Chains A and B, each alone.
Chain A
Amino acid sequence: MMLEKGLEEKTFYLNLGPQHPSTHGVLRIVLEMDGEFIVTADPVIGYGHRAHEKMAELRTYQQYLPNMGRVDYLHALAYNQCYCMAVEKLAGIVVPERAEFIRVITSELNRISSHLLWFGAYLLDLGAFTPFLYCFDDREQILDLLDRLTGSRLTYCFYRFGGVPVDIDDDFIAGCRAFIQRLRSRWDDYDNLVTKNVIFIHRTRDVGILPPELALKYGVTGPTLRGSGIPYDIRKSEPFSVYPLFDFEIPIGERGDVLDRYLVRLREMEQSLRIIEQALDKLPAGPIMAEKVPKRLKPPEGEVYTAVETARGEFGIYLVSKGDVKPYRVKLRVPCFSNLSVLPELIKDTMVADAVAILGSIDLVIPEIDR
């Protein structure tokens, strides 16, 4: 480009967020722009900081349970499960098998609801309004099922140390089976509406390519990593709960672009349906709560790390106990923090519209990053 004499090429700064519909929370990204193109991107986090880790040190083990539903409100049950697993491991509580099955069924339902919400919200980012209404209709069925069981619709606090407080009944099982049928009949509609849509493909194909090496370097996990072709899933690589009993696949992408991450999530929902189906078939009879879990829990001195696969990646809890009624230290390893840190590399040299497409494809829950 020819420049007039006296003028020099300058970059300017543009704020994406803190409050912007496409950031899904209070995330601010400072973009250094060269015309339409992004030169550097600098995420600014911490607007939703609630000191969840510090709170753990001031509360008893039971009292920290409701916090777990609020770190990541979209897949709250996986966080519940991880915390319960950590404390159970530390205190040596053995969870009955039926309780583990109920945990898996509800957690996988929650995973589907999280992916469905991402599906709708992401397409809103890309400017498609219709799919949002379809997936929220489906998500509503899950929320109704979980509402009937757990009593809440979003920030669940359902698992307890040693099991689950409420058993599932025939209504719930029948409802689950009906939902599996229903969602499977909707895949064609989703494909016709979105996956095959030429506008959608042009917006996403070969946009925001994340090479596997870069993903590993930043500690990216979850569908974002699997979209780059690395089949890393805690449910397979470090099996927890009763996941080894089920037959399911880990969908992976080939190119690592936005479309691959989209497809991985869509296929993951089908795999979750398979897990739920098998769990309902194999559901054993028996107690749902371990015997003799003290009301005032005092795990012995020690430290423990447990990890689960949430809808966004690996969530881990590092818990240190000094033999008190309160944890000495709780460290939460949240997936979105690592997934966000790779974003500046991804949106370099792209346009703002593509940056929004890439940002959405990572599926960030901002309060989880800030926690």
Chain B
Amino acid sequence: MKAYVKETLTGFYSLLAGLGVTIRYFVKPIVTVQYPREKLDMSPRYRGHTEFLIDPETGSHRCNACENCARTCPSGVITVTGVKVPGTKKKRAVTYSIDYSLCSLCGLCVEVCPTHALKFSNEYRLAGYSRQDMIIDIMARLKAQQRALGLPEEVPPAPEAEAAAPEAAASGEAES
């Protein structure tokens, strides 16, 4: 009987102690951020989808379409095409798109890039209505960024050769 009364009393006290914690936190500042009205800053290293790093020297991207990223990608989501720059032996990317719906954000493409052309964006609101919305054209994104920064927009190296075939650019290079 004595033990029963004691247990009842300590039990009741334990409930009050728990309530005490709740009341104490009730008067403390609110920790909840009222998303979407308020937004937190993303950390600089946050991994969104990849985007081109703008080279401060040229004001454009550094991708030479070597396709290392496309080969190393575990899910094979990267599509990159490039043409030869006339007058040099280098290639330059013309289109670059990723299928973000399959991307696992492992970061292997960023690490493998020999020219350090890629970086992670801080984009996290990426809801879409169709699968097609998840295919992100990084080249178009770069052009939009260049416009926003007031830089000259990225122009593909040989616009007339691009439509025909990369060989045309190559032969043009041989003649020069």
Interface residues of A (CB under 8 A from B): 59, 62-67, 70, 130, 134, 137, 144, 147-152, 155, 157, 160, 165-166, 189, 192-194, 196-199, 295
Q: Do residues B45 and A149 form an inter-chain contact, with CB atoms below 8 A? A: yes
* Distance of A322 Cα from B131 Cα, bound (Å): 39
Write the chain B residue with the least CB distance to A152. Answer: B47
Name the B residues within 8 Å of A147 (CB-CB).
43, 45-46
Name the B residues within 8 Å of A166 (CB-CB).
45
Q: Do residues B47 and A63 form an inter-chain contact, with CB atoms below 8 A? A: no
17 further A-B contacts with Cβ under 8 Å, apart from A130-B18, A152-B47, A165-B107, are: A62-B108, A65-B74, A66-B104, A70-B104, A149-B45, A151-B43, A151-B107, A151-B120, A157-B106, A157-B107, A160-B111, A193-B18, A193-B21, A197-B14, A197-B15, A197-B18, A198-B10
Name the A residues within 8 Å of B120 (CB-CB).
151
* Distance of A309 Cα from B92 Cα, bound (Å): 47
Candidates A64, A152, A196; contact of B17 at CB < 8 Å: A196
Tell me if B22 is interfacial: C-beta within 8 Å of chain A: yes
* Distance of A165 Cα from B104 Cα, bound (Å): 17
* Distance of A155 Cα from B104 Cα, bound (Å): 9
Write the chain B residue with the least CB distance to A165. Answer: B111
**Interface size of B as a range:** 20 to 34
Name the B residues within 8 Å of A63 (CB-CB).
72-74, 108
B93 to chain A, nearest CB (A): 21
B111 to chain A, nearest CB (A): 6
Q: Do residues A66 and B111 form an inter-chain contact, with CB atoms below 8 A? A: no
* Distance of A106 Cα from B166 Cα, bound (Å): 48
Candidates B10, B21, B105; contact of A152 at CB < 8 Å: B105
Candidates B15, B45, B73; contact of A151 at CB < 8 Å: B45
* Distance of A51 Cα from B25 Cα, bound (Å): 45
Name the A residues within 8 Å of B72 (CB-CB).
62-63
Name the B residues within 8 Å of A151 (CB-CB).
43, 45-47, 105, 107, 120
Q: Do residues B45 and A148 form an inter-chain contact, with CB atoms below 8 A? A: yes
Those of B95-138 within 8 Å (CB) of chain A: 104-108, 111-112, 120
What are 13 A-B interface contacts by the 8 Å CB criterion? Answer: A59-B74, A62-B72, A63-B108, A65-B106, A65-B108, A66-B104, A66-B106, A70-B104, A149-B45, A151-B107, A189-B21, A193-B21, A198-B14
B120 to chain A, nearest CB (A): 6
Tell me if B11 is interfacial: C-beta within 8 Å of chain A: yes
Name the A residues within 8 Å of B45 (CB-CB).
147-151, 166
Tell me if B31 is interfacial: C-beta within 8 Å of chain A: yes
Tell me if B152 is interfacial: C-beta within 8 Å of chain A: no
Name the A residues within 8 Å of B105 (CB-CB).
66, 151-152, 155, 157
A289 to chain B, nearest CB (A): 11
Q: Do residues A196 and B46 form an inter-chain contact, with CB atoms below 8 A? A: no
Q: Do residues B43 and A148 form an inter-chain contact, with CB atoms below 8 A? A: yes
Name the B residues within 8 Å of A192 (CB-CB).
14, 17-18, 20-21
A198 and B108 in contact (CB under 8 A), knowing A59-B74, A152-B47? no
* Distance of A191 Cα from B18 Cα, bound (Å): 8
